[in-house]
A and B are shown apart, each in its own frame.
Chain A
Amino acid sequence: MNKHCHNPAETMELPQGKKRLVLVGNPNVGKSVFFNELTGRYVDVSNFPGTTVEIHKAPYGDYILMDIPGVYGVSSFNDEERVARDIILQADTVINIVDALHLERDLFLTQQLIDMGIAIVVALNMMDEAVQSGMTIDVAKLSKHLGVPVIPTVAVKKQGFQALRAAIAKASLGYGDPRIQPELERLMATGMGRGDALLILEGDEEVAFCHSQQAFPLREEIYLRRRQRVNEIIADVVQVKQAIKKWNKLLGQWAVRPVTGLPILFAILVAMYWFIGVFVAQTVVGLTEETIMLGIYSEFITALIFRFFSPEGFLGLLLAGEFGLLTMAPVYLFGLLLPLVVGFYLALSVLEDSGYLPRLATLVDRMLTSLGLNGRAIIPIILGFGCVTMATITTRLLGSKRERMIATALLGVTIPCSAQIGVIAGLIAPLGFSYLAIYVLTIFSIFVILGTVLNKILPGESTHLLIDLPSLRLPRVKNVLTKTYLKSLAFIKEAAPLFVLAAVAITVLAYTGALTGLQNLLAPLTEGWLRLPREATTAFVMGIMRRDFGAAGLYSLTLTPEQTLVGLVTITLFVPCIACIMVMVKERGWRDGTAIWGGSLVIAFLAGGLIARLLA
């Protein structure tokens, strides 16, 4: 681009002489299967400059192959589209993955890429499903209409890859819309590429600004003509003998109809709870944390460190004390957190790849609209029960700033993470059903009140649900595993430094006696307002380091059932762990991040004190 701004895709590192080959397609067309199949093992995942959108890159012959977020069209409706747009504008060649079952939707993007003047080759994927659904597609005719190579593929069965690899060299420009040719040429005469020129005609203000041009008001006209052309092509190349209803179509209908959809959702939640809450959190963590990390690793490292340092000295405590850098930090990170995160990403990848999540978003849309969110916000909320930190990162997928703010606040304040749920369940179970009911009701009410209030006071407008519902399908094992591996790795890389920091901070607090000082300082709050023993302060401070530490801190105190409940409500609503606070600040910025933090403190103590008075 030119003087006013530059395309960040230009500055992305590219080895000498390599060209850019970009995988472009609508969401859920199997792009990542193509990426994995074409590139094999070595993958580099990075954030696109200046955004939180992930780009996958890997060498492929003379090219660097890039996988970008799935988009329905090239423009600047949201962050992901902007990233896709910038990378597509810089692409040398594009592999456009098209879902044979959804040609009406997917060929719109294909035709837009052609109008942009980019050399493309089309992979017509899921051909087997199209055939099974009673559809015949004349591939040769489709290729002739578009003017680009079209290769039928069944990516999950590895069919068509050889032909696709061979066709990359034959990628061509295709037949663009002739009606806009004069305007395009006029713009291109000022020195810009055809892609930039098209986007300016389609009213993309950002691209227009970069070229000091005015955006044209032609989007709708061009879109409608493109839509018409795509429909004509489809009418000519697709024949449907008899539409066959398959299992997934029926199951897809059931998933959004409340009568059947809610039981399906319940079954999925039970299965997830069993897998993550029981199998991973107890069986696997029992092995990794108790047996391996505490039993073998910790014993060894403590003995080693204490041979050189006194167990009472600062350095000894810092390295191998209760919150030591070489004891607590790695035990927590690899013994407890890693298995939980891997478990969660496995479950999430299965849900993602099955195409269920958009249906879930539809099912719960109504409940979330009164909280200023739309159905899509259910994804971070579900994730929050696993790890609030991880969930806060996924609020990126929400459509507006206010929705991201509301979701982050709800997560940070009201959603207990899996580590915490375990301890809470252990403390509350002996008290009986009525205490459990009061606890759940309190937290749920605060969830609803907080969402409703934020929806009222935050400026702006939330986006509404308008989503494509992909067909349900069985996830592929390899794809799920790759996804889980990459996401877990990224999470650990992000979280590890924070835990090291937390370990240092809490050791310093304990060593300097600041903890006892804090207990006395906060006595009016703990003893006076919450009617808890003053030692409860330790539980709160610990709760900042690790949410479950906070709840676990209550174990060591002698409390009445009422006090236990007050303590648990306060600890749940109390600030999320330090890793989460830092992610909140990173994602929402200083002002909003600390506002949520402060808000959670006020809400936690207010609710705790009120419960203490109501129960008395």
Chain B
Amino acid sequence: MTTLDKVRRGEKVEICRIADERVRAQAIRFGICEGSVVTCGEKLPAGPVVIYAGWQELAIGRSIACNITVKKAS
């Protein structure tokens, strides 16, 4: 278990928990919910994390990423 901001570029992880309720609702609309498997596409230094989920590409601010718990995808 770790958080999304600690994932390395290219790593594949499963989303375990999204703390903020609004972020969670918005993420479900974008196609990502707890249990989704995403790939970290890019990490800007101290900045946003870019993730790929299927054909979807999302930029997530660092402080949101800190509050998203993930685990290594099998």
Contacts and interface: CB of A to CB of B under 8 A. Distances in A.
A258 B46 CA distance: 12
A465 B55 CA distance: 20
B58 A468 contact: yes
Interface string A500-522: 00000000000000000000000
B60 A466 contact: yes
A206 interface: no
Interface in A371-414: 374-375
B29 A366 contact: no
Interface string B34-59: 00000001101111101001111111
B51 to A, nearest CB: 10
A133 B54 CA distance: 13
B73 interface: no
Contacts of A469: 50, 57-59
Nearest to B63: A464
A133 to B, nearest CB: 8
Given A219-B25, A257-B42, A365 B33 contact: no
A178 B45 CA distance: 46
Given A365-B44, A465-B48, A72 B60 contact: no
A468 B63 contact: no
Nearest to A106: B31
A133 B59 CA distance: 22
Contacts of A109: 29
Interface string B6-31: 00000000000000011111111111
B56 A104 contact: yes
A277 interface: no
Given A227-B28, A362-B48, A256 B55 contact: no
Given A104-B31, A227-B33, A467 B58 contact: yes
Contacts of B44: 256-258, 362-363, 365-366
B71 interface: no
A103 to B, nearest CB: 8
Nearest to B47: A366
Nearest to A363: B44
Contacts of A105: 29-31, 56
Given A220-B25, A366-B44, A366-B46, A102 B59 contact: no
B62 to A, nearest CB: 7
A102 B29 CA distance: 12
Q: Which of the listed residues B23, B25, B64 has the most CB atoms from chain A within 10 Å of its own CB?
A: B25
Nearest to B53: A104
A256 to B, nearest CB: 5
A475 interface: no
A101 B55 contact: yes
B56 to A, nearest CB: 6
Interface residues of A, number: 39
Interface string A209-250: 000000000011001100100000000000000000000000
Contact of A465 (B22, B46, B61): B61
A369 B44 CA distance: 13
B46 A77 contact: no
A252 B62 CA distance: 20
A267 to B, nearest CB: 19
Contacts of B46: 366
A220 B27 CA distance: 11
A321 interface: no
A365 B50 CA distance: 12
Contacts of B45: 258, 366
Contacts of B58: 466-469
A71 to B, nearest CB: 9
Interface string A566-583: 000000000000000000
Contact of A108 (B22, B23, B29, B59): B29
Given A105-B29, A220-B24, A256-B44, A466 B56 contact: no
Interface string A318-360: 0000000000000000000000000000000000000000110
B30 A72 contact: yes
A104 B46 CA distance: 29
A109 B31 CA distance: 11
Contacts of B62: 365-366, 369
A98 to B, nearest CB: 13
Contact of B31 (A108, A363, A374): A108
Contacts of A375: 48, 59, 61
Nearest to A366: B47
A361 interface: yes
A104 B29 CA distance: 8
Given A365-B44, A366-B62, A468 B57 contact: yes
B31 to A, nearest CB: 4
A302 to B, nearest CB: 55
A365 B56 CA distance: 20
Given A227-B31, A369-B61, A102 B47 contact: no
A256 B29 contact: no
A256 B59 contact: yes
A253 B41 contact: yes
Nearest to B34: A224
A30 interface: no
A59 interface: no
Nearest to B31: A104
Given A224-B28, A363-B44, 4 more contacts: A105-B30, A108-B28, A133-B55, A366-B46
Interface of A: 72-73, 75, 77, 101-105, 108-109, 133, 219-220, 223-224, 227, 252-253, 256-258, 358-359, 361-363, 365-366, 369, 374-375, 464-469, 471
Q: A-B pairs with the 6 shortest C-beta distances?
A: A366-B47, A465-B61, A104-B31, A464-B61, A362-B59, A469-B57
